[in-house]
Copies of this chain bind each other. A is one copy, B any other.
Amino acid sequence: MENPYKRKKEPLANKKLILETAAEIGASMAWSDVTFQAIAQKTGLSKGGIIHHFPSKEILLDELFEQSLAELSVLIEHEKENNPQLQPAYAYLKIVCGDMPEGCYLNTMNVILKGTVNNGHFRDRWKEWVQQYLALDFDNADALSLMALLVADGMWFSDILGIYPISSLQKQKILQLINSL
């Protein structure tokens, strides 16, 4: 008999919850299963309430994607700080090969994967991000740096979809192999 209208108002927490839930749904199911209804059900909020925070689905997904890009940017920046002379491509690889304790990067990359695969706009955004953070002169890049990039991509792609069971030990071995070249 409780009145839902009397729920305490927590706009910031709820907005965060909505984005998290959207990411979870997108990760465990298809990108198109990220619906207002599904989010509403999983958060316990109402569809109207969600739409109050994100007036359209495009806006919701956009914010979700940008947030994921920002999260990855933080990881990269952090890696660069700790290792200023490290080339971006290797920082990228190191992040992917590293054991993210909370597996936080999985959720991040999941959004990026689903987004880029299913939406041309996100694909362009991802390209922009890559240019900005992994800046490489592709025409004149050495094969080794390119390879590091490709290994990294292959790695998180496999990680997320669970294609290959690559242990963290083997990841380290691959990382060492590339560093030794």
Contacts and interface: CB of A to CB of B under 8 A. Distances in A.
Query: How many of these chains are in the complex?
Result: 2
A53 interface: no
Interface stretch (A15-23, A65-73, A152-160): A152-160
A119 interface: yes
A138 interface: yes
Contact of A174 (B147, B163, B174): B147
Contact of A119 (B30, B126, B138): B30
A141 interface: yes
Contact of A116 (B161, B166, B176): B161
For the complex of A and B, the 6 pairs showing the least CB-CB separation, nearest first, are A150-B154, A153-B154, A32-B32, A154-B154, A30-B118, A143-B173
